[in-house]
Amino acid sequence: MPGSLGHINSWLLDDEDGFVPVDTGMKIKDCSDEWKAIFAGELAGEQATRVICTHLHPDHIGLAGWLCKRFDIELWMTRGEWLTARMISADPRTEVPEAFVTLQRSCGWDQDALDDMTASGWGGFRKVVFEMPMNYRRLKDGDQLSLGKHQWRIVVGSGHSPEHACLVNDADGVMISGDQVLPRISSNVSVVLTEPEADPLGEWFDSIEKLLLLPNDLLICPAHGEPFYGLHARLISLREEHHRRLDAIEAALTDKPMRVVDSFHLLFNRVIEGRNRELATGEALAHFHRLEHMGRVTRTVEDGVFWYRRA
């Protein structure tokens, strides 16, 4: 993968007549070359029986359509992830929509930053995602999948993406966690254009409580980083990290009101610029929305810009 992550883990599950890739990598040459080498090497003569994607982000579904075509198999996803992926990939726009400019302006972006963003265009998703199949097989929370000798249970989380599927093998004590639980970095929890008033951080907290009901001794196989033990400690530390950020914003709101962009130094320990600005804005806005839902801040809109004050 390009960028600071550098890689994604695709997990291969054993099935009766072959194997099942879970998450695929982006539609970039590096990723498809890796797959081709594996298909000609370790998996020579083996057949994929289906493709499973934990969620819609391009590093997870980028080559799903390609794998489905290559092996003539079906794509399995939750409905929320599937529909969102199809919606984004069907958007033919190449220019940044006005609604997105409005949203970024409301978070406090200045004209230079807005011009920068509009100059870089729209439709990046389609560039790194192979054409999706026309139909899919639905995964639902609580579903049991029989793959070969193994049972995998679907556990849905939310906040990083709409309906993220984790796969839990209770008998063997293994969980494929996608981006819902990562060992070192904290997953991006962002407000996105399709639902600008959503409360993804609220959904993220709810999902942490739900995942805390899973056994603590599962081997967690994440999409980024190494497999690890210690699910509960990791979930609690992720929960605390977000609560610390919420507290930091509230504490900084003394008598002066604040815009979303004014909170970056409280939330991130790096300079925010370029493409990172969009991610940082979405993540910061998620924290302000959560504080607003909790009744800890109030928002006024002045000249199209959100200003937050302590409630």
Site string for Zn ion, 55-94 (x = CB under 5 A): --x-------------------------------------
27 binds Zn ion (CB under 5 A): no
Q: Are strands 297-302 and 305-310 parallel, antiparallel or unpaired?
A: antiparallel
Nearest to Zn ion of 110, 226 (CB atom): 226
Count the residues of the shown chain that bind Zn ion, applying the rule CB under 5 A: 2
Tokens of 218: 């599962």
Nearest to Zn ion of 221, 291 (CB atom): 221
Q: Binders of Zn ion among 41-60, rule CB under 5 A?
A: 57
Binding segment for Zn ion (CB under 5 A), chosen from 62-70, 134-142, 150-158, 174-182, is 174-182
Give the distance from CA 249 to its chain's centroid.
Answer: 23
Q: Are strands 174-178 and 164-169 parallel, antiparallel or unpaired?
A: antiparallel
Provide Rg for the chain, Cα atoms.
20
Nearest to Zn ion of 50, 224 (CB atom): 224
Nearest to Zn ion of 151, 188 (CB atom): 188
By Cβ distance, which residue is nearest to Zn ion? 57
The C-alpha atoms of residue 264 and residue 271 are separated, in whole angstroms, by: 8
> What is the number of alpha carbons within 13 Å of residue 229 lying toward its C-beta?
4
- Cβ distance 85 to 56 under 8 Å? yes
- Cβ distance 303 to 102 under 8 Å? no
Question: What φ, ψ does residue 289 adopt, rounded to 5°?
Answer: -60, -40
Q: Binders of Zn ion among 180-219, rule CB under 5 A?
A: none
Contacts for 112 with CB less than 8 Å, ≥ 6 apart: none
Question: What φ, ψ does residue 239 adopt, rounded to 5°?
Answer: -60, -45
**Shortest CB 80 distance to Zn ion, Å:** 14
Q: Binders of Zn ion among 92-111, rule CB under 5 A?
A: none
**Shortest CB 55 distance to Zn ion, Å:** 6
**Shortest CB 118 distance to Zn ion, Å:** 25
Nearest to Zn ion of 80, 257 (CB atom): 80
Using CB under 5 A, pick the residue from 15, 179, 199, 203 that binds Zn ion. Answer: 179
**Shortest CB 167 distance to Zn ion, Å:** 15
The SS3 call for residue 300 is strand
- Cβ distance 208 to 263 under 8 Å? no
**Shortest CB 56 distance to Zn ion, Å:** 8
- Cβ distance 52 to 81 under 8 Å? no
Nearest to Zn ion of 22, 261 (CB atom): 22
Binding segment for Zn ion (CB under 5 A), chosen from 37-45, 91-99, 171-179, 196-204, is 171-179
Nearest to Zn ion of 204, 307 (CB atom): 204
Residues shown for the chain: 311
Residues that bind Zn ion (CB under 5 A): 57, 179
